[in-house]
Amino acid sequence: MIEHRTSGGHSDRWVELTDDVAIPLREHMEKYPPVEVTRPWGGKGGDPVTVQLIFSTREKTAIQSNWFNSYRWKPALAAAGLIKPLDPNAKGRRWEKSRDMMMHALRHLYASMMINGGVDVYTLADRLGHADPAFTLRKYVHRIVGAGSKIRIAVRSAYARAA
């Protein structure tokens, strides 16, 4: 597990990793040791906090979100065919708008997958840093295509035990 300070900086959380993520991450950290940086937490004017960055720039600084979005995230979306690739004749790096495919959307996908996989909403809300599990269900969990088959399986199982 990895300890992770929340974006608000008010609490720490643990994030569970499967071996297929933890092992390559450990190998990355052996090849590129974490970089210690001190930054204002929560933005300009925040209290300085020293953290270990697992991923950093060549200059050993934090990766800026705009750079990551333009040079890593959007190219990955384009390679997957989810957005149009950059127009080589256009001025600058103007990607197609993709609000529903922003990095934050991965939190929503994660929440939906965890509920669909049987994780209870209280545990999920805790992992996401939500005080109210109802908020997690209302704002983060979305319908999963084909998940209705789980209802049929659960009903069949319940009636089989009763018979």
pLDDT digits (tens, 9 = 90+) for 64-82: 888 998 899 999 999 999 8
127 in Cβ contact with 15 (< 8 Å): yes
- The residue that leads in pLDDT, 146 or 77, is 77
The reported pLDDT for the residue numbered 2 is 58
In sequence order, the 6+-apart residues with CB closer than 8 A to the CB of 130 are 136, 140
- What's the pLDDT at 7? 55
Place of tokens 């384009």: 78
Q: Are 38 and 50 in contact (CB under 8 A)?
A: yes
User: What does the pLDDT average to over 13-29?
Assistant: 88
> What are the residues whose beta carbons fall under 8 Å from the beta carbon of 62, sequence distance 6 or more?
37, 39, 53, 56
What is the per-residue pLDDT across 93-130, written as a single tens digit (0 to 9) for each?
788 887 777 888 889 999 999 998 889 999 999 988 89
Q: How confident is the model at residue 10 (pLDDT cuts 50, 70, 90)?
A: low
